[in-house]
Amino acid sequence: GFDDGGEHARLTRRRAAVMPSWLSTMYSEPIDIESGSGRHVWDAEGNRYLDFFGGILTTMTGHAVPEVTKAVSEQAGRILHSSTLYLNRPMVELAERIAELSGLDDPRVFFTTSGTEANDTALLLATGYRSSNQILALRNSYHGRSFASLAVTGNRSWSPSSLSPVQTSYVHGSRRRGTVLEGLTDEEFTEACVRDLEDTLDQLHGNVACLIAEPIQGVGGFAAPPDGLFARFREVLDRHGILWVSDEVQTGWGRTGEHFWGWQAHADNGPPDVVTFAKGIGNGLPIAGVVARGEVMDSVAANSISTFGGSPLTAAGALANLDYHQRHDLRGNARRVGAVLRAELRAAESLASVGGIRGKGLMLGVELVRSDGGPAPETAALVTERARERGLLIGKGGLEGNVLRVAPPLSLTEEEAVEGARALVEALRAADSSV
């Protein structure tokens, strides 16, 4: 820990120095993370936690994976120099690997340092390619915290902005309690969303650059739309030449267990034009990027340089991380262990406060409701505290903050899945009986 006179002083200092005053931490007493190994982290007091959130899905292969650590430290000893003015081997190799894995036609990769910048780049490409600053996005979405990515984020609790560099229209495409589409079957839901998209495009005379969407909304609470929805969207978009941008910041790298990318559950009418990625590829290192069809990538004439995007340090770490992922088939692991986790969580379904459990692979959401069926953010806050007391870290999400998010590293073992699920069910029971 820091040498600053104890936890309370440290906390006070951090509140003053680090956070904007309006930003709250996850727990009543923030956790001071100090080290990690595999799926576990330790705080400064020496408490051990099973990590079921991976620092918001950033930890893909696990904490302190020796192969990743070695690649980063060797690269740090070689050179830290960074700039896309020059080539560097790790960046080029990583670009080739991601292009090959992307499933896109004629793929090109551009690296950034965050998911936000990756989405900004995607918007730059789409608006340039289409000469339109009209964007379609989904209600309840989250795409980042820059001026442009906030301007396409449906969940406005993240966005204090009033001016916007793009014009965004929000269409239906996410399943959420309390909306006009609640209670529809998958088929009815899909038809309603397609009609909404068509109607919105009629209003805009089809003059739209792109639809940007998360295949499963992350911050929005892990509710997956019916498989095939985006393939139906793609058919409509194609009539106007509108691009499909898939934000795979949370759903990429096999997180859903079924596929390598979330969009692949919606692939009937071809791949997206642009995919954005971040989080898991760096295993905690700041690396992200865009992979796009060559024609789209080349359409923006501005000679764009990113100083830190694809730095040899982060690229070397990401390469080792991706190697580990593929050698151990972590996509397959996410499916197998995700099924174990889902089965164990079934024990929570009978609790009054549990409105439903949803998601895919190692991306599971537990929705908490009040007795009248309305959202229960207070119960969610209570469960996260009770889980912490049982040595388990989980996340929260959903527009109302009433969805628990479970997204462990993709290397989670079956034993850890069982252990963590049981701790979560106990935490849910403890909170259930106190509300």
Q: Report residue 20: phi and psi, to 5°.
A: -60, 150
Count of residues touching ligand PMP (by CB under 6 A): 16
Q: In the set 140, 250, 283, 314, which binds ligand PMP (CB under 6 A)? A: 250
What is the smallest separation between the CB atom of 219 and ligand PMP, expressed in angstroms? 5
Would you say 61 or 121 has its CB closer to ligand PMP? 121
Can you tell me the distance from the alpha carbon of 393 to that of 387, in angstroms, rounded to the nearest whole number?
7
Stretch that binds ligand PMP, among 76-84, 115-123, 297-305, 403-411 (CB under 6 A): 115-123
Under rule CB under 6 A, residue 51 binds ligand PMP = no
Q: Which is nearer to ligand PMP, 144 or 365 (CB)?
A: 144
| Spatial distance between the Cα atoms of 320 and 287, rounded to a whole number of angstroms | 13
Q: Which of 65, 278, 421, 424 binds ligand PMP (CB under 6 A)?
A: 278
Judged by CB, which is closer to ligand PMP: 71, or 278? 278
Cβ closest to ligand PMP, residue 212 vs residue 381: 212
Burial class (CB in 10 A: 0-12, 13-18, 19+), 16: exposed
Nearer to ligand PMP, 116 or 133 (CB): 116
**Measured from the CB atom, is 138 or 382 closer to ligand PMP?**
138
3-class SS of residue 189: helix
DSSP-assigned beta bridge partners for residue 293: 107
CA-based radius of gyration for the chain: 21
Closest to ligand PMP by CB, 136 vs 431, is 136
Could you tell me which of 38, 207, 200, 50 has the C-alpha nearest to residue 133? 207
115 near ligand PMP, judged by CB under 6 A: yes
- Mark residues 279-298: x for contact with ligand PMP by CB under 6 A, - for none: ---------x----------
CB of 276 to ligand PMP, least distance (A): 7
Residue 194 is which amino acid? V
Distance of CA 141 to the CA centre of its chain: 11
In the complex with ligand PMP, the residue whose CB is nearer, 47 or 264, is 264
Nearest approach in angstroms of CB 112 to ligand PMP is: 9
Query: Applying CB under 6 A, which of residues 88, 116, 174, 246 lies at the interface with ligand PMP?
Result: 116
Taken as a whole, the chain contains a residue count of: 435
Residue 58: CB minimum distance to ligand PMP, A: 8
- Please report, as residue ranges, which positions from 131 to 170 form the binding site for ligand PMP (by CB under 6 A): 142-144
Q: Measured between alpha carbons, how far is 163 from 224 in angstroms, rounded to an integer? A: 31
Tell me, what amino acid is at 117?
E
Q: For residues 152 and 209, which CB has a smaller minimum distance to ligand PMP in the complex?
A: 152
Q: Does 119 bind ligand PMP (CB under 6 A)?
A: yes
Residue nearest ligand PMP, CB atom distance: 115
CB of 107 to ligand PMP, least distance (A): 20
DSSP state of 213: E
- Report DSSP state, residue 170: E
DSSP annotation of 278: -
Closest approach of ligand PMP to the CB of residue 116, in Å: 3
Query: Whole-angstrom Cα distance, residue 279 to residue 285?
Result: 8
Q: Which of 51, 214, 400, 432 touches ligand PMP by CB under 6 A?
A: 214
Distance of CA 183 to the CA centre of its chain: 26
Q: Taken in order 397, 101, 120, 282, is the CA torsion positive or negative?
A: positive
Q: Of the candidates 329, 313, 296, which has an alpha carbon nearest to the alpha carbon of residue 94?
A: 313
Choices 108-116, 197-205, 295-303, 328-336 (CB under 6 A): range interacting with ligand PMP: 108-116
CA distance 319 to 315: 6
Edge-to-edge strand order for the sheet containing 395-397?
Answer: 354-360, 363-368, 403-406, 395-397
38 or 252: CB nearest ligand PMP: 252
- For the chain, what is the largest distance between any 2 Cα atoms, rounded to a whole number of angstroms? 64
The smaller minimum CB distance to ligand PMP, of residues 31 and 56, is found at: 56
Residues in region 229-248 near ligand PMP by CB under 6 A: 247
Could you identify the residue written with the tokens 């409105």? 355
Out of 11, 26, 33, 56, name the contact with ligand PMP by CB under 6 A.
Answer: 56
- Structure tokens that stand for 239 in this block: 């009539």
Structure tokens at 155: 């969940």
Q: In the set 55, 107, 218, 310, which binds ligand PMP (CB under 6 A)?
A: 218
Binding status of residue 26 toward ligand PMP by CB under 6 A: no
Looking at the DSSP bridge assignments, the partners of residue 357 are: 366
Q: Which residues bind ligand PMP (CB under 6 A)?
A: 56, 114-116, 119, 142-144, 214, 218-219, 247, 249-250, 278, 288
